[in-house]
Structure 1
Amino acid sequence: MAWLWLMVAGACEIVGVVGFARMSHGRRVSGGLIAGVAFSCGLACLHIAMNDLPMAVAYGVFTGLGALGSTLIGIVFWGESARPARLAWVAGLVVAVIGLKLSM
């Protein structure tokens, strides 16, 4: 169940970053609300997950999911760079997160 909470926390992290992006694109109020609620929910879910998972694993997966999701959303919705080198580094994040899960 802790891994499910961790996945929800990662999803909330992604939504929070989308809120930040909205703020930087001129939608300050709605972006701020989205970011505030999403980051609060994400940290609450991370706290629950950390009751059963080691801190280093939980936080590593949490931030990895946030970075992966934010990068993919930036590429798909905001036209950010999808250069092969950038995608390779994102793939490295995925491998690292899987490695943390398998090392439990």
Structure 2
Amino acid sequence: MSWIYLILAGIFEMIGVTMINSLHKNRNWQSLLMLLGGFGLSFLFLALAMEKLPMGTAYAIWTGIGASGGAILGMVLYGEPKDWKRLIFIAMVLSAAIGLKLVS
């Protein structure tokens, strides 16, 4: 269950990061509430995951999901460059997260 919590934490981290961009562009209450909710739930699920998982592993995977997911959402939602080099490095981050899962 800890790994599910960790994945959920990463997904809510991606939502929080996306809402930072949305709030910067729109300045509305919906974006602010989603930003606070996204980061709040992200930290909640990270804390639940860390009850069983080592801190270093949990934090590294949470950060990797958030960073990779944020980059992918930036490409999909905000027209950021979809250069093949960026995709390779995103794949490397995700591969490292999977590797940590395999050795934990």
TM norm. shorter chain > 0.5 = yes
Identity of aligned residues (%): 36
- Residue-by-residue CA offset, 1:2-25 (whole Å, 9 max, x unaligned): 000001101100110111010121
* Distance (whole Å) between structure 1 residues aligned to residue 45 and residue 16 of structure 2: 14
Partner amino acid, structure 1, of 2:10: G
Partner amino acid, structure 2, of 1:41: L
* Distance (whole Å) between structure 1 residues aligned to residue 58 and residue 52 of structure 2: 9
Aligned position for 1:82: 82
Secondary structure of the equivalent of 1:51? Answer: coil
Q: CA deviation at 1:95?
A: 0.8
- Residue-by-residue CA offset, 1:34-67 (whole Å, 9 max, x unaligned): 1111101110100000000000000000010011
Aligned position for 1:61: 61
Aligned position for 1:27: 27
Structure 2 residue ranges without an equivalent (≥5): none
Structure 1 residue ranges without an equivalent (≥5): none
Q: CA deviation at 1:103?
A: 1.0
Partner amino acid, structure 2, of 1:56: G
Q: CA deviation at 1:28?
A: 3.9
